[in-house]
A and B are shown apart, each in its own frame.
Chain A
Amino acid sequence: MRLTVYRRYPGSLPVVVTVLMAWLVVCGVAGAEVETGQQRPNLVFILGDNHNAGTMGCAGHPFIQTPGMDRLAKEGILFENAFNTTSLCSPSRASILTGAYAHKHGVKNNHTPWTGEMKTFLADLAENGYATAFIGKWHMPGEGLPEMPFLDLFVSYTYREGQGAYFNCPMIVNGREVPSRTPYITAEATDYAIEFMRRVLGENREEPLRPFCIYLSHRPGHPPYKAPQGIAGMYADADVTTVLPPQADPLWYGKTKGNVFQGVMMGSYDNEYRKYCETLTAMDRDIVRLLEEMDAMGLADNTVVIYMGDNGMQWGTHDHHGIREAYEDSLRLPLIVRAPGLVLDPGSKRGQMVLNIDMAPTLLDMAGLDVPATMDGQSLVPLLKDRQIQGRKAFLVEFWRYFPENTPSYTGIRTNRYKYIQFARGRSPWLFDILNDPGELNNLMGTPQGETILPELKSRLAHLIARTDPD
C-alpha cells in the first residue's frame, strides 16, 4: 500500500514515514502511560454516616439542600437500590474496604476488632502504583488505629470510640496525634483530601504520573448532631410532617417498641431530625468544595467520585429509631457514582441491586486490576456502562447482636421481590413482599402466600451462606 501510494504520489514517502513514525511514537508513549498508570483514573470515595438513602435533594427529599450530591447525580449515576449487608457502622465499613460479607472479614458488630487479616482495596491499589489516602472516620474497634503502612496518608481519630467530634476533633496523622486545624470536622477532612491531591499532582510534575485514591470518610449523620455556623438552624422551620411518619412523636425522643424512653434528654424528635439534615448539608458543602477544587486542578475528567453511606437510618418508621433493624430504611444506602468515560448516560438512575461489598471490586476494576477471589462483591463497572445489564438477584443480610441495642442477631435474604429474616432469639421471622408491600407492613409468615414462597427463600438463603462461607 505504501508503495502504491508512493508510485501515485512520488513526493509522499516522507509524509507517510513521518505519519507512521508519529503513530508508532504515540502508541509507544500510550503504552508507557498504561504501564506507569497515567491513564488509570483517580478514585475518590466519599463515605457518609447513617445517611438515609432518601435524604438527598437528588433523591426527592422535600427540603434538604445537597447541591454537591445533586451535582454528582447529574454528572453520574444514582443507584436507587443500593444496600448494605450488615446494617451497623463497623461491619459495613469493613465490608466496604474488603469487599466481603461480615462473617468473612470478622467485624461483626461495633465491639469486634478489625484484625487486618483481610486485604483492603486500598492495599491492592497501593501495590499497583496508586497514591492512597484514608482520611476521616475509621471507626472500627481495636486498640487505636491499625497499622496501614501502604497508605501515603492516614488521617483519622480515635476520640470517643472512634466517633470523633464535630468540632475541634484531635486528629491522628500518619500515627502522630495533632490538634485540629479547622473547627468543623468535614472541613478538616476535606482540607486534608485537597492537600493530598495537590501533593500528588506536585510530585507528578517531576516523576512518572501516579494516580491517586482517596477514601474520605465523614462523620455527619451521626448523633449528637451539630452543624457549623451558617448551616445550624437552617431547617429550624422546615416542615417535617411529610418526611417523618405520623406516629413519630414530635415532643419526646422516645425510642418506642420497648426501647429506651429518652425523653427530653435528647430534645424533640422533629428537631433532632432537622439537626440531622443540617449535618448532612454541612458535609455536602464540603463535597461541593472538593468537586470545585478538582475542577480547578483539571482532575474532573479523569477522576471517579463515589458517594455512599455506611448504613441507612430509620426515623420513626415501624416505631423504630436507629440503624440496625432489617427494614429497608436501615438497609438502603445512598449511592452515587460519577465516572467520566464509563458512564454514557449521566444524570440517569439504575435500579439494579448493588451492595456495599461491591465498592472494593468496583474500584479495583476501574483501576484495571483483577478482583481477588476473596471478595464477595461484584464490580459495578458493567452496570455503569450499560443500564440494561441485569443485576444480582439476591443478597445475604446478616447482623450480630450489639450491646446495648435490643435487636437480636439475624440472618436473611433480600431478593428483588422478597425479604426473609430469621432471628437468633426473641422474635418470629419476617417475610415481606417488598414489591407489593414496600412499607413492609404485612408479615407473610404463616399466610398461604408465605408458605408457598418460604421453602425457596430458605433454600436460596442456605445457598448464599454456603457460597460465601470462608471455610
Chain B
Amino acid sequence: MLKRVIAPVMSVFVVMSVSYMGYFGSRYLDGGIVQQWMAGFFGTTYFLSIGFGALYVYTATYVRGASLPQRITASLVNPLIWMTKEALRLTISHPLLESLYWYFNPLDIWLISFVIMEMGLGTLVGRSIQKRRDRSIRVVTAGPFAVIAGSLVFAVAVYAWGEGENIYVLFLKGYRFFFGYGL
C-alpha cells in the first residue's frame, strides 16, 4: 500500500507543498531577479503539480498494481487538497457552508475534468510501460480513449461557452439559490 499508492501521492504532495512555499514565500523578497526567478520557477512547478500531478500518480499506481478505486482515489487526493485549501481561504470572510460551495467553482470543475483525462492517459502510459515487461497486454482499448475524449470535450465545451464566463455566472446563481445575498 505504501509503495503502491501512498508514495506516488506523497511525492506529488511534496512538490506541491514546496512549490507553494516557494511561490508565495518569494513575495517576502523585495523584487529583483531572485524573487522573479523564484516566483517563475515555483509558480510553474506549483501549477504542474496541481494540474498534472494526477498523470504521474495514476500511472505510477497503475504500474505498481493498485486497484481501480485506489488509482482513482490516489489521483484525486492532491487536487482535492488544493481545492480544500482554496475553499478554506474563504472562511476568513464567509461561513463554512458558503466556503464549501467554492468546490463547485469553474476552476475546480476544469481541474477535475483534466484529472479524469489524465486518468485515461495514465492508463495508456501505464499499459505501455507494462507491455515492455509483459507483451500480452493490449495498450490501446476503447475505455481510456472514451475517458480522455469525454473529459476533454467537457473541459473545452465549458470553456467555449462564453470563455468560461457563463459557467461562472451559473456558479454565482447557484450561490444565490442556496445562500441568498450572503448578508
Binding site for B on A (CB under 8 A): 108-109, 111-113, 141, 160-161, 163, 224, 245-247, 249-252, 254, 256-265, 319, 400-409, 425-427
Residue of A nearest to B35 (CB): A247
Contact (Cβ within 8 A) B39 A403: no
Contact (Cβ within 8 A) B175 A403: yes
Known: A246-B32, A263-B47, A264-B47. A256 touches B27 (CB 8 A): yes
Residue of B nearest to A253 (CB): B43
- When distances are taken between beta carbons in the complex, the residues of chain B under 8 Å from A264 are 47
Contact (Cβ within 8 A) A403 B179: yes
Stretch of B1-9, B70-78, B91-99 on the interface side:
B91-99
Known: A249-B43, A401-B93, A401-B94. A161 touches B35 (CB 8 A): no
Q: How far is the CB of A303 from chain B (nearest CB, A)?
A: 36
Q: How large is the interface on B (under 10, 10 to 19, 20 to 34, 35 or more residues)?
A: 35 or more
| Residue in contact with B93 in the complex, picked from A256, A265, A426, CB distance below 8 Å | A426
User: 17 A-B pairs, CB-CB below 8 angstroms?
Assistant: A111-B182, A112-B181, A113-B181, A160-B169, A163-B165, A224-B163, A246-B32, A246-B35, A249-B26, A250-B40, A251-B39, A251-B44, A263-B47, A263-B50, A406-B89, A406-B92, A426-B92
- When distances are taken between beta carbons in the complex, the residues of chain A under 8 Å from B162 are 160
| Pairs of residues from A and B, 10 with the lowest C-beta to C-beta distance, nearest first | A246-B31, A426-B92, A252-B43, A408-B93, A111-B181, A249-B39, A263-B47, A112-B181, A251-B40, A401-B93
- When distances are taken between beta carbons in the complex, the residues of chain B under 8 Å from A426 are 91-93
Cβ of B46 under 8 Å from chain A = yes
Known: A249-B43, A252-B39. A403 touches B98 (CB 8 A): yes
Contact (Cβ within 8 A) A405 B93: yes
Known: A160-B169, A161-B169. A109 touches B27 (CB 8 A): no
Question: How many Å lie between the Cα of A264 and that of B51 in the bound state?
Answer: 11
Question: How many Å lie between the Cα of A349 and that of B118 in the bound state?
Answer: 59
Contact (Cβ within 8 A) B89 A249: no
Residue of A nearest to B90 (CB): A406
Question: How many Å lie between the Cα of A111 and that of B91 in the bound state?
Answer: 19
Cβ of B102 under 8 Å from chain A = yes
Question: How many Å lie between the Cα of A425 and that of B89 in the bound state?
Answer: 13
Contact (Cβ within 8 A) A425 B165: no
| Residue in contact with A254 in the complex, picked from B23, B50, B93, B163, CB distance below 8 Å | B23
Additional A-B contacts beyond A163-B165, A263-B43, A409-B93 (13; CB < 8 A):
A109-B181, A111-B182, A112-B181, A160-B162, A160-B166, A224-B163, A247-B27, A261-B23, A263-B50, A401-B93, A403-B179, A426-B93, A427-B92
Contact (Cβ within 8 A) A108 B102: no
Cβ of B36 under 8 Å from chain A = yes
Contact (Cβ within 8 A) B30 A246: yes
